[in-house]
Structure 1
Amino acid sequence: MIENIFKLSESIRYVAIYRDGQLESKAKSNMLDASSSESDRYEELLVNPTLLKLASQRGNIDCGGLEYLLVRYGNFFQFVCPISSGHLSVCIEPDADPIEIGTKIKLLVHSDS
């Protein structure tokens, strides 16, 4: 699935799938303003699962659930969506349209389910 996500846009810098306690990720090489691989690892193991849990609990109360989170860091966007037994996380260039790319990602994920 990671390679198929990269094919969706040249603006995708990094893709991670965290499922059943296992992390698989891949990043493009030679990116400007990229975060470290160790930082990315902790984001996938700690930050993104926590954000998804909090937003999902809120969304499930009376908002119709949670489809995805979009975080705008200074150097990039981070698109995070829940998947079966985990989450998918995609780093997107700051000058790209993250909603358009996120929509393509969601369609791909749902077609692979």
Structure 2
Amino acid sequence: MVETPFDADIRVGEVLEAQRFEEANKPKMTKLWIDLGEEHGEVQSAAQLDHHYDPAELEGRQVLCATNLGSVRIAGFKSEALTVGVPDEEGYPVLVEPDEDVPLGGLLF
């Protein structure tokens, strides 16, 4: 097993489904269902992605997720992983993702 120099468990997943999160208080939220591979299973994530991404274009895309930060309920939706992004000039998240397809569940190191 590869050990990481930090405490966050960040893994590669594939977005199975994405929907606009109309019920959320924050604008431009998206509900994501992400496959982290056979060993880690499927997780849900809520992310503020609608500024840059249409939900339909997220499906099938590989993303990075922090999986060991606990879960939170947002407007009744259980978000179990933090989808990793960096802010653009206006502060809106831009996804961090591998530039090649890699095995699902792979650990960032």
Task: Pick the structure with more helix per residue.
Answer: 1
- TM value normalised by structure 1: 0.24
- TM value normalised by structure 2: 0.24
